[in-house]
Amino acid sequence: MSAVPIVFAVDDSYRVPLLVALESLCVSQPAGARGLTVVVLHEGLDERTRADIAAVAADHDLDLVLRRAELPDLPYNTAFGGARANYLRLAIPAAVAAADRAVYLDADIVVRGDLRPLLDADLRGLPFGAVQDTVNPTLADGRALPGWQELGLDGDRAYFNSGVMVFDLAECRRDGLFERAFRAVAEHPRHLRLWDQDALNLAARDRWHRLPRRFNTIPLSALRRTPWIRLPPERLPTDAALAAEEADAVVMHYVSPSKPWRGLLPAGPAADTYSLHLHAVTRRVAGTTRKGT
């Protein structure tokens, strides 16, 4: 296993986006998949999902491990389109126990650039690094952690998006981050509208390193044309600023229900980028299926 495993967490419903994420990861790195280790956490995957993941990994000579994760028996809030799989990243410390550091990536991403600066990011003694959420930048300015006032939190507290995270696992264990996150799941399920992301934000106590936005960029130029993102005009950058930010993205994160693999993301550069990798994966998996018949 490489020094910094890259961890995904999925169920079968995220088979296609995971394949796209893996494809984009392998083709975007300067040395391809050489030296990368990917760990996919799950609670059980069907044969088709396993076969397709193995096909993409084999074609790129990617060191990939499918690892069954165990979640404690807790009342996992999955309202608003969530799933138990959202909480699997909370099992990272046990799943990669031999690693000192890990990078977590959501499956609904495309990697567009060199991840080495992310893998090697200086966390300045903090348990993890993440990017401040674009849509919910603070508790008072968004829909995250509903009822945060009842929890005694400050509305000005910065809120991070958990789709891309770099963990110092030794510091996380000393800090008790994941234990507090599981307590949040157990004790405050009604406050976890954004599932594990809310649990982690509550558990973090604002002790996290702010990463540059290029490591977790949302395609806001497209999403603002959907019913899911409704930001006031003063929060919307200019078209030129959005284009520059999205062109600089190392990781493009396709948040909201407007998922590109379902054809729901409005047309534009972000949708085109996703389609490129989706078509490559479709051809790759189709070719493997033909060989096996």
Query: Is the pLDDT assigned to residue 121 strictly greater than 70?
Result: yes
Residue 1: the pLDDT is 41
Q: What is the pLDDT of residues 148-164, one digit of tens each?
A: 999 999 999 999 999 99
87-91, 186-190, 283-287: range with lowest mean pLDDT: 283-287
The owner of tokens 């799941």 is 185
**Pick the residue with more confidence: 289 or 243?**
243
* Structure-token pair, residue 266: 């409005």
Per-residue pLDDT reduced to its tens digit, 180-190: 999 999 999 99
The pLDDT of residue 288: 55
The whole-number average pLDDT for the span 57-73 is 96
pLDDT at 203 over 50: yes
Tell me: pLDDT of 96 over 80: yes
Residue 102 and residue 96: Cα distance in Å, rounded? 8
Mean pLDDT score of the chain: 94
Going from the C-alpha of 121 to that of each of 27, 59, 131, 215, the distances in angstroms are 22, 29, 12, 11
Evaluate if residue 2 carries a pLDDT over 80. no
Q: What is the per-residue pLDDT across 105-119, written as a single tens digit (0 to 9) for each?
A: 999 999 999 999 999
pLDDT of residue 128: 98
**Residue whose structure tokens are 């088709």:** 48
Question: Is the per-residue pLDDT at 76 higher than 70?
Answer: yes
State mean pLDDT over 235-257: 92
Q: What is the pTM of this model?
A: 0.95
What the chain holds in terms of domains, given with CATH numbers, is 6-292 (3.90.550.10)
What pLDDT, on a 0 to 100 scale, did the predictor assign at position 287? 60
% the chain with pLDDT above 90: 89
Contact 260, 270 (CB under 8 A): yes
Q: Where are the alpha helices (DSSP H) in the chain?
A: 15-28, 47-60, 92-95, 116-119, 169-175, 177-187, 195-204, 220-223, 239-247, 269-292
Say whether pLDDT at 9 is over 50: yes
